[in-house]
Amino acid sequence: MGARQSRHRAAKSGHSSSLAGHGHGGHQAKTGGSKSITELKIKSTDSTALSDPGFGADEDENQDVALATTLLPGLSPCYLAGLFDGHGPEGRAVAALIKERILLTLGVSSNTNAATLKKCFTELDSACVGIDVDSGVSATVLFFDENDRRLIIANVGDTKAVLGRGIHQPRVLQLSEDHYPAVEQERLRIVEAGGRVAAAVDVQLGEIGVMRVWKGDEGRPGLPLSRSIGDSLAKEVGVTSDPHITEMKLEAQDRFLIIGTGGVWKVLTPQEAVDLVANQHDAKQAAKKVIDEAKRRWEQLWQGENTSVLVVVFPGP
């Protein structure tokens, strides 16, 4: 999350960096220099994760951590990837721990399914207890079996995942679910657990900003998410690590997936991001295009936020 705001331009603007390098694959048969991702024949899964710490921020202020597509050992070919958007004083530590432990925790196999991913999220949440009660992550994880084109997306929070569907002018298919306290079913769960959902209150201005989760009349935790990994104080009042799951078999026209942290989606619509990616030649170029455009828009606002994207290009057609 790592939001930053400034009324004046900082002397140093944030720079883009690789979160996790390139994933396996990426071998492409380009039949023409002008062809885009949706038109090229892609031989194997390719991905790139890139990040910008935000306008006026340094890299050590970036709480986003990514796992670019990882070819799972003993499986041919199955991939795991994820993007973890940290928040709170130790948000980056939580995100780094999840990246470090997810492969071992999931115990991945070709039989990975919704149940195993849900169990994984629960175990990762437990592993974060003790880091900091007010720190956690919004997380989106994907599992992709290349042979049968089976894709599973599991997410908590608002690290949105969108699929680009179509060869010409691809349209958006959102595969994740945004988890906010203002959503009625989320609010009811929190209230039933003894939590309170309300905006922050300023003495002079009254209620300001988005709905947040509070423990009774305490001024904590003030979490703007209804689901996350970590955030053990918020877990006492109905916030959960139970992920939303989407499982599907990709169609031939499903060419790429974009996973972005809040820094992307606060300045780009899903369709704008899909259009940017569709006009590039590979995952690396596409990820850079998204980050550069998001960065440009943040700078126009003289504001900044940790901004990260993971672009996954699927084999085909």
Read off the pLDDT of residues 107-157 as tens digits, 9 standing for 90 and up.
Answer: 766 678 999 999 999 999 999 999 999 999 999 999 999 988 999 999 999
Report the predicted TM-score, pTM, of the whole model to 2 decimal places: 0.88
Whether the predicted pLDDT of 24 surpasses 60: no
Q: Which residue has the higher pLDDT, 169 or 56?
A: 169
> Residue 180, Cβ neighbours under 10 Å: how many?
18
pLDDT of 149? 93
pLDDT of 72? 80
Whether the predicted pLDDT of 306 surpasses 60: yes
Domain boundaries, the chain: 3-178+238-313, 180-224
pLDDT band, very low/low/confident/very high, at 75 (cuts 50, 70, 90)? low
Whether the predicted pLDDT of 76 surpasses 80: no
**Distance between CA 97 and CA 127 in Å, rounded?**
8
Query: Exposed, middle or buried: residue 272 (CB in 10 Å: 0-12, 13-18, 19+)?
Result: middle
pLDDT of 41? 79
Whether the predicted pLDDT of 33 surpasses 80: no
CATH architecture of 3-178+238-313: 4-Layer Sandwich (3.60)
| Amino acid at site 200 | A
